[in-house]
Amino acid sequence: MIINDREMAANGNGAATARKQKGLLPSITTSDKHHDVCHDMSAPTVKAQTIDELHSLQKKKSAPTTPIKGIQGAFAALSEEERSKQQLQSISASLASLTRETGPKVVRGYPASKSQTSPRVHQQHVAEPAISASDSSLKFTHVLYNLSPAELYEQAIHYEKGSFITSTGALATLSGAKTGRAPRDKRVVKDDVTREELWWGKGSPNIEMDEHTFMVNRERAVDYLNSLDKVFVNDQFLNWDPENRIKVRIVSARAYHSLFMHNMCIRPTPEELEDFGTPDFTIYNAGQFPCNRYTHYMTSSTSIDLNLARREMVILGTQYAGEMKKGLFSVMHYLMPKRQILSLHSGCNMGKDGDVALFFGLSGTGKTTLSTDPNRYLIGDDEHCWTETGVSNIEGGCYAKCIDLSREKEPDIWNAIKFGTVLENVVFEEHTRVVDYADKSVTENTRASYPIEYIPNAKIPCVGPHPKNVILLACDAFGVLPPVSKLNLAQTMYHFISGYTALVAGTEEGVKEPKATFSACFGAAFIMMHPTKYAAMLAEKMQKHGATGWLVNTGWSGGSYGSGSRIKLAYTRKIIDAIHSGSLLKAEYKKTEVFGLEIPTEVEGVPSEILDPVNTWSNKLGYEDTLMKLAGLFRNNFEIFTDHKIGKDNELTEEILAAGPNF
C-alpha cells in the first residue's frame, strides 16, 4: 500500500502509520526515560468519577467580585438566599397577570442544566395551587437573568432559527418579517397628564391610545411571555451621567433581544446588579406574538405601546430590536427635559484637547460613521443628554448600519464586528460564514450592535464637557445642499426644527429608495413634546456655551439620486476634520442663493469645485429647478411651526422664521 506524504506528516511517524495499517492500536510508551517528551500516561487523570461530574468541572462558578458588604451596607443583613428571593419577587411582580400572580424562579444559565438542581420549586407550585388556578398559573417559567454574551450565543444558536456565528465571531441573526422600525404602530397612552404635556396631532409621532387598551395589550404580552418555558430578563442602566441614570428592565423571549440590549444599554457591574431593586422602566417584548385585531385602536398586527404613567412599554408583532432601543429613547425624551436636560438624537465625540462635537441627523445620515473617528474619543453614536455640566451618552453601545461596510473606509466599525456583536439580517457565505456586506437580500437596513468599548478610543465613562461644534447632517438626495455650510444660531435652529434629510432606504419600513423627509429635531419619531421645546433648550445651550452650528450634506453631489453620486466619505471626513481643528471657522466664505448658506471656498483635502453644488451639475437648469423644489418643500414643512414661539425670546423666533430659504 502506498502512503502519501501528507498522511505521513499527519501521523507523525512511519512506525505508527504502519501499525495503524495493520489494524493495531498505537503503542503506549511506558518508559520514563525521555523526560522532554509528553507521554500518554504522564498527565494526571481528571478528578471526576462520572461523565456528568466531568462536565460539571468545565464551568467554573464565578467568585463574587466584591465580598458581601459589611453591616453598614444597605443590604447588609441580607443573606444571598434572601437577596435572590427579593430579586425573584421583583421579576415576578413584573410578570404578574390574571392567570399568574406568582412569578417564576430566577435561574442563571439553562433550564436544562438547572432543572435537576431545583425540583423543589416545581413541587411547591404543585403543592400550593392558587385558588381558582388555571393551568397557566401552575406552569413554571425559567427566567434567564442577565446572561453573559457567551450564554446568550448558546441560547440563540440552540433555540433560535437563523442564528449563526460569523467568521469574525459575531452572532448573525434575523429580526423576522420586520427589518426596520414601524413608526406608524407606535402608540402612547393619552391620560390627563400626557394630554397636556405631550405633542399630539399633525406631525407628532405620538399616536394616542387609552389606558385600558394599553392594559389589554400588556396582558396579551405578559401572558404570551408566561406561556414560554423561559424568558430573558435584562436589568441595566441608561445614561452615563450618574445623577440622571435610569434603571431599565427588559423582559423578552429571544436571546437575540437580550444580547442586543446587553450591548445597547449600560451594563451594570455585579455590585450594581445586587443593589438594582425596582426598575424605573420596564419593556415587555412579546414581538413574535401579534396584537389582536379586535382590540380597539389596532390597525395592524404590530403595536409598540408606551405608558408613561406606568413606566412601561409593550411590544407586539415586531421582532426588530431597534424598537426597544428607540422606545427607551422616547422615554428619555420625556423624562430628561422635565429635569431641564436636553435629550438629543446625535452622535458625540471629543478631541485630544477636550473639544466636543455633536452630530445630529436622521437615520443613515452618518452619526455613527462620523462620530467613530480614529483621531477622536467616541462618547456615543446616537443618543445623548446635554446638562448644566456637559454631555453624557444615554447608551452603552453603538448601532451601525453595515450595508456596503468596508474595512478600508470604516476600520473601527469593521473591527468591532467580533464575538459579542449582534449582526442583524446580513447574508454570509454558507460554509466559511464570511459576511457579504454588499448583499441586500434580506434588507438594506443591515445592522451591527456592539458594546461601545469595542471601539478602541471610546471614552469611558461616556461623558464630556459642553460641545464646541454642533454638526447637522443631512443626506440630501436632491444634491443641491452644499457639502458644508457654516450656520448662525437662527439658521441652526431653523435646520434643527426642520430636520431635513433624504431618508435612506430600509430603517423605516416600506422605504425602498431615498426620499425627502422632514423630521423635527432630527428625531420626530422619538420626541415626546413639541419640537420648539427642544429647540429652545438647544438655542439656549448653544448661546451660553458659544457652540458653532454647521450643516453637512452627506448625500448627493453632481445631480439628484439616480444621476449624481453620494459625496465620498473621505471628503466628508476631511470637512469634519476641518470643523474640529477650527480651521474651517477661519476660512473664507460666500453666501448661496435661496438658502442663504455660508459656504467655504476651500477645505483642505477636498476639491474646491464640489464646495458649491452648482459647479457639480452639468445640467444647470436642472440644478435651479431642483433647488427651488427643495426650498418649497422646506417652506411647506415649516408652516406648522410659524405660529409657535421658540423660547421666551420673540426676537429669536423671528430670526428663525427668517432663516429659511428666501425666494
Ligand X SMILES: Nc1ncnc2c1ncn2[C@@H]1O[C@H](COP(=O)(O)OP(=O)(O)OP(=O)(O)O)[C@@H](O)[C@H]1O
Catalytic positions, written as ranges: 181, 326, 345, 363, 367-368, 382, 447
**Pure H helices in 417-530:** 489-498
598 binds Mn ion (CB under 5 A): no
| Cis bond upstream, residue 461 (ω within 30) | yes
* Amino acid at residue number 258: S
Shortest Cβ contact with ligand OAA: which residue?
A: 322
Distance CA 319, CA 613 (A): 41
At 405, give phi and psi (nearest 5°). Answer: -60, 135
382 binds ligand OAA (CB under 6 A): yes
User: Looking at the DSSP assignment, which residues form a beta bridge with residue 145?
Assistant: 233
263 binds Ca ion (CB under 5 A): no
Distance CA 545, CA 468 (A): 7
Distance CA 73, CA 79 (A): 13
CB closer to ligand OAA, 279 vs 380: 380
Say which residues have a Cβ less than 8 Å from residue 624's Cβ, sequence separation at least 6: none
**By CB under 5 A, how many residues form the interface with Ca ion?**
3
**By CB under 6 A, how many residues form the interface with ligand X?**
21
363 binds ligand X (CB under 6 A): yes
DSSP 8-state assignment for residue 146: S
322 binds ligand OAA (CB under 6 A): yes
Distance CA 328, CA 573 (A): 30
**b/e map of 187-198 (b: 16 or more CB within 10 Å)?**
bbbbbeebeebb
Binding-site string for ligand X from residue 6 to residue 25, where x marks contact by CB under 6 A and - marks none: --------------------
558 binds ligand OAA (CB under 6 A): no
Which of 550, 542, 596 minimizes the C-alpha distance to 577? 550
Choose, by CB under 6 A, the member of 224, 256, 284, 399 that binds ligand OAA.
399
- Number of residues assigned to the chain: 663
**Pure H helices in 244-394:** 255-264, 270-274, 322-338, 367-371
567 binds ligand X (CB under 6 A): yes
Residue 514: CB atoms within 10 Å: 22
CB closer to ligand X, 556 vs 634: 556
Choose, by CB under 5 A, the member of 368, 387, 492, 616 that binds Ca ion.
368
425 binds ligand X (CB under 6 A): no
Which of 445, 374, 471, 441 minimizes the C-alpha distance to 413? 374
Choose, by CB under 6 A, the member of 262, 326, 384, 566 that binds ligand OAA.
326
* Amino acid at residue number 209: M
Min dist. Cβ of residue 568 to ligand X (A): 6
554 binds Ca ion (CB under 5 A): no
Among Ca ion, ligand OAA, ligand X, none, what does residue 479 contact (CB within 5–8 Å per kind)? none
399 binds ligand X (CB under 6 A): yes
Among ligand OAA, ligand X, Mn ion, none, what does residue 231 contact (CB within 5–8 Å per kind)? none
DSSP 8-state assignment for residue 360: E
Choose, by CB under 6 A, the member of 105, 125, 181, 384 that binds ligand OAA.
181
363 binds ligand OAA (CB under 6 A): yes
CB closer to Mn ion, 355 vs 382: 382
Min dist. Cβ of residue 530 to ligand X (A): 22
Q: From 24-32, 251-259, 368-376, 416-424, give the range in contact with ligand X by CB under 6 A.
A: 368-376
DSSP 8-state assignment for residue 129: P
User: Can you give the three-state secondary structure of 12-81, one letter per residue?
Assistant: CCHHHHHHHHCCCCCCCCCCCCCCCCCCCCCCCCCCCCCHHHHHHHHCCCCCCCCCCCCCCCCCCCCCHH
At 502, give phi and psi (nearest 5°). Answer: -95, 115
382 binds Mn ion (CB under 5 A): yes
Q: From 145-153, 366-374, 417-425, 433-441, give the range in contact with Ca ion by CB under 5 A.
A: 366-374
CB closer to ligand X, 153 vs 550: 550
Q: From 28-36, 379-387, 586-594, 620-628, give the range in contact with Mn ion by CB under 5 A.
A: 379-387
Say which residues have a Cβ less than 8 Å from residue 24's Cβ, sequence separation at least 6: none
Q: From 11-19, 88-96, 105-113, 562-570, give the range in contact with ligand X by CB under 6 A.
A: 562-570
Positions in 485-514 near ligand OAA (CB under 6 A): 507
Contacts with ligand OAA by CB under 6 A lie at: 181, 322, 325-326, 363, 382, 399, 507
Residues that bind Ca ion (CB under 5 A): 368, 382, 399
In the complex, which residues of this chain contact ligand X (CB under 6 A)? 361, 363-370, 381-382, 399-401, 403, 507, 554, 566-567, 569, 572
Contacting residues toward Mn ion, per CB under 5 A: 382
